Amino acid sequence: MIAISDATLLAFTKLKTRKVRTFFTIVVAGLLFSGVFAVLLISQGFFQSADAFSKQAMVGRYIVSAQDASIFTTSSGFDEATNPELIEKAKVAYEKLISDKKRESKRLGIAYDPSTDRSPIIDSPYESGKKMLDSGSMIAQQVLSEYSANNKAKATINMLTAAAKPYGAKAFYETHSLAPKYGAIVEMKQGKEVFDVATKPIPAESSPMGNIPSDTDEMTLAAKSLVQLHLMKDQVWQPTSGHIPVVVTEKRAATLLKYPAPKADAPALERLNYAKELRKRAAGLTFVMCYRNSVSQSQITQAVSTAKEIAANKTNKNYTKPSLVYGVPGDTSCAQAAVVSDTRSADEKSYTAKENEFRRLFNEQVDPVQQKITFEVVGIAPNSFMDTMTDGTFSIGVGEMLSSMLASQTFRFSIPEEMYNQLPNKEQYADILSQQQQFGLQINAQMYAEFADAESARQFMKKESCTFGMSGKCEPVEKKFMLSSFGSNSIAIEEAKKVVDNVIVVFTLIVMAIAGLIAGLTIGRTIADGRRETAVFRAIGFKRLDISQVYVTYTLLLCVGIILVSFGIGYGVALIIDNLNWVNATVAAQMSLGITDSQTQFHFIGMSVKLLWVVAAIAAAGLLGMALPLLRNVRRSPIRDMRDE
């Protein structure tokens, strides 16, 4: 058997004698395998960086969000609205209301028009001659709400506990939507109310496409554990301040502070430090909102319209000013509309008092209620889809996509429950930040289960979740919850790893087959061209094994060239992608997971033993491509090869 050094020298000589063929093989096969290297380098970099950030943020937490499956039934609303029993119940309630109001109006000596009370029953627009409940009627709303509360088997935290315990769930949480039971909460921009909305343009901040997002309609009372990730370490909130603690989005915090995010061409250090600086500046940040019930809002509207009317008729001698004139309060006060003048007679005032008494008897709002609410920022959460929308468009850059991958869900406007419960004045917000609807019915709560490991959480979601189907229901119908990961997408990321690995294996096999064919043709042609040379070797005493050793070495040297070229190109592609995106990706990861003090960076290049898969695939492709031509060549007669040449 010839020495390895001799076989290597002969093989290297063969590579140099067919330079064009060698170059073509290395470049074509290298380009094919470079795609595999690039995908593997980028995917490993992504997953390694995601793991590094997730471990710092979630510390091994795996939380599953559970939504009541019954709310995903699309047909139930129409079925209930046309339910004959509910229609009859609404009819009886309406007739009783009319009767009671007639009796009380007669007792009080005031006029009452039954047509002012909206009927809960209307003609169905879908079926001629059929009746249905009018969702705009208060009576219809109450009937439907009571029916839903009494007849729908709503999922509860106890049901979630029973379902998740067998999978190893260790903790359970609930969140509650908050909304004014009566009236509305309006943000006071720069601490001021805007009253003259009829003549002044609506500020851009009030639009979800504008500066300050319309997140206040998504107020959520959340367990502190669910928002712990986004709480600022240096927040200074104290319960004695009376301020409501709140976790807001980056966009709201940046707008309130007038500290916009750096532009894409800003220095990397400035962009990397933005998240940390934003949280530092937001410590102790407050903003105010004004709650007004419907009566208070009506008086403000009346004050504005009357002021316009008086101004428009200041030169009209025939104009008579209304007997009751309200004035607009100070724009920073959130106060009641003050009475500017009241020239009503004693009889008029007496009649109004009787009307108010009449309305109170039937639980109608009579007295104006208003209250200024001060919120204090104690945490900053990543922006949601609504927050990334700007002027009707939204960004789908690497940062936004990465943010959605790392953080599955966030609250746009959340109040940590344990902190809220420490407020000494929280009772005054009972109707303003209510967990109940107008009729006293509980608003649907969101539930969560926390698991010790990703596999347990994954199995729970896989086996116990329903999926919204073509039937208009969440299927299978026996499942009570629609489940998804919450907070960190660590569960989904681990699942994605397996999918990517499988894709890479398939991709590698396909490329390996193509490269093997190319290598086989190249090596086969090289062996065919060297038939005389092989015959001479045989004639001077080379054995078949010696000749095979030369060609195996030749093939391996060819494979080394392919490995170097393919890895170089693949690494170059990954390096370009990494250089273009690592800053945005790091910022997105910081903001998504609330990590601002870490020096960890998000990169798209990752080294892994899986790279050896590709090296082995290239070697296998070359050796497989060599095997058949070599086997055929060494079995040929050297005398025939000499004669043929």
Domain count, the chain: 2
Phi and psi, residue 220, nearest 5°: -135, 130
pLDDT tens column, 538-586: 656 667 677 777 778 878 888 888 899 999 999 999 999 999 888 888 8
Residue 391 lies in a domain: no
- Which two tokens mark 631? 């086997």
Treating both helix axes as pointing N-terminal to C-terminal, what angle do 490-529 and 454-464 enclose, rounded to 10 degrees?
100
CA distance 209 to 399: 19
Q: Which of 361, 393, 419 is the last residue of a domain?
A: 361
Domain of 552, in residue numbers: 4-61+492-644
Counting other chains too, the contacts that 336-340 makes at CB distance below 8 Å and 24 or more residues apart are: 336/296, 336/299, 336/368, 336/370, 337/296, 337/299, 337/300, 337/302, 337/303, 337/368
Largest CA distance in the chain: 134
pLDDT for position 623: 81
Contact partners, residue 422, CB within 8 Å, separation at least 6: 239
Residue 441 lies in a domain: no
Instruction: Tell me the DSSP string of 46-102.
Output: HHHHHHHHHHHHHTT-EEEEEEEGGGG-SSHHHHHHT-HHHHHHHHHHHHHHHHHHH
496 and 353 within one domain: no
Environment class of 180 (CB within 10 Å of its CB; exposed 0-12, middle 13-18, buried 19+): middle
- Which two tokens mark 535? 């015959």
Q: Which of 303, 332, 361 is the last residue of a domain?
A: 361
Distance of CA 22 to CAs 212, 291, 523, 532, 634, Å? 63, 79, 9, 20, 22
Residue 69 lies in a domain: no
pLDDT tens column, 298-320: 999 999 999 999 999 989 989 99
Q: Which of 303, 329, 361 is the last residue of a domain?
A: 361
pLDDT tens column, 113-134: 998 899 999 998 888 888 999 8
Question: What pTM does this model have?
Answer: 0.74
pLDDT for position 206: 39
Residue 222 lies in a domain: no
Q: CA 146, 297, 97: angle at the middle one, nearest 5?
A: 35
Residue 409 lies in a domain: no
pLDDT tens column, 432-453: 888 866 544 455 678 999 998 8
pLDDT tens column, 235-283: 889 999 999 999 998 889 998 999 988 887 788 788 888 888 888 899 8
pLDDT for position 324: 95
Residue 416 lies in a domain: no
Residue 304 lies in a domain: yes
640 and 496 within one domain: yes
Most confidently modeled range among 219-233, 530-544, 625-639: 219-233
Residue 514 lies in a domain: yes
